[in-house]
Structure 1
Amino acid sequence: MNIVLHEPEIPQNTGNIARTCVAVGATLHLIEPIGFSLDEKQLKRAGLDYWDKLNYRMYKDFDEFVVLNNNPKIYMATTKATKTYADATYEKNAYIMFGKESAGIPEEILLNYKDTSIRIPMSQNIRSLNISNAVAVTLYEALRQNNFDNLETAGQLHHHKW
């Protein structure tokens, strides 16, 4: 799976998303400009000690991302979509893109992806979910559709003697 962040602004959110990507083996794609340095303390704190295990790539802009990834099918997470994230059928290597916290994905990009734009249902009086929550909700649906391929799906209780 591939998570794409278009111009992320808040290091704690990106750190949380990075940790989620490490937990499921997803690649994180970061499209510049980004609103922080990748060595900021908050970013490392939010990603905890997982940052060195993250597979991530940087791009100078959206066009470079598209070219270097061979014009992939991209699911655009946006409050402007007419279909929900659960209506989409995700491939094993799906690309799911999220926009910057203050503005989302620019409309000039969304216009070319109407058929693959998705939204998370929510009350009318709320602008949007936190981006790290939105990534988790959407990514885990895509993983569920692919039978949580290569992920541990069962835990085990340990019997302790008190």
Structure 2
Amino acid sequence: MTSIVLVQPEIPGNTGAVGRTCVALDMELILIHPLGFEISDKRVKRSGLDYWQHIRLVEFGSWEAFMADRAPRGDQMFLFEEFAARSFYEPDYPADAYLVFGRETKGIPEPILAAHREALVKLPMRSTQVRSLNLANTVAAAAYQAVRAHL
């Protein structure tokens, strides 16, 4: 099963919308703490609508705890970063991929990026007027691309 990993998300509405995408695609949602909100925040559930109860949610206290528990293979990891050299269209995503996204304001913390440079991918932008997309939109695009070969 493909998993969406949000590292220290800050905006509850984005996390709720990502959760809805996870339900739609039968994916697990992994949240890496600290969060910028309480998971019980009504804004999270409102964005997830009545789907929130169906989300396969797993939380970890830190990136290190996630890595220790899951021990993902190198070919499972895809870290989405706007400055990556490789397009997210290039990889062949395994069915058990981890799609990793960072905070809305700062992205994935630098120590994590440094440890996984070979796993960096980006959504290509055709316009120079846009630096990045909303986190929920980016996750949706990436999730559908990752599962395309497995549908």
Q: TM-score, normalised by structure 1?
A: 0.87
Q: Determine the structure 2 residue equivalent to 1:87.
A: 90
The farther-off stretch of 72-81 and 86-95 is: 72-81
Between Structure 1 and Structure 2, the one with more helix by share is 2
Structure 1 residue 107 displacement after superposition: 1.8
Q: Secondary structure at the match of 1:142?
A: helix
Q: Secondary structure at the match of 2:116?
A: helix
Structure 1 residue 87 displacement after superposition: 0.6
Q: Determine the structure 1 residue equivalent to 2:47.
A: 46
Amino acid across the alignment from 1:95: Y
**Pairing 1:127–2:131 present:** yes
Q: Secondary structure at the match of 1:128?
A: coil
Amino acid across the alignment from 1:55: R
Structure 1 residues 64 and 19: CA distance shift in structure 2, 3 A: same
1:143 aligns with one of 118, 139, 147: 147
Q: Determine the structure 1 residue equivalent to 2:27.
A: 26
Query: How many Å separate the matches in 1 of 2:81 and 2:53?
Result: 30
Structure 1 residue 79 displacement after superposition: 0.6
Structure 1 residue 145 displacement after superposition: 1.9
Amino acid across the alignment from 2:29: L
Larger radius of gyration: 1
Measured on the aligned residues, the alpha-carbon RMSD in Å equals 1.0
Query: How many Å separate the matches in 1 of 2:97 and 2:22?
Result: 13
Deviation by residue 1:117-157 (Cα, 9 ceiling, x = unmatched) = 100011233221000000010110111122x1xxxxxxxxx
Amino acid across the alignment from 2:148: R
1:118 aligns with one of 112, 117, 121: 121
Q: Determine the structure 2 residue equivalent to 1:97.
A: 100
Query: How many Å separate the matches in 1 of 2:55 and 2:130?
Result: 32
Instruction: Report the count of equivalent residues.
Output: 147
Query: How many Å separate the matches in 1 of 2:102 and 2:128?
Result: 20
Amino acid across the alignment from 1:82: A
Structure 2 unaligned regions, length at least 5:
none
Deviation by residue 1:44-69 (Cα, 9 ceiling, x = unmatched) = 11000111110010011100001110
**Pairing 1:77–2:80 present:** yes
Q: TM-score, normalised by structure 2?
A: 0.94
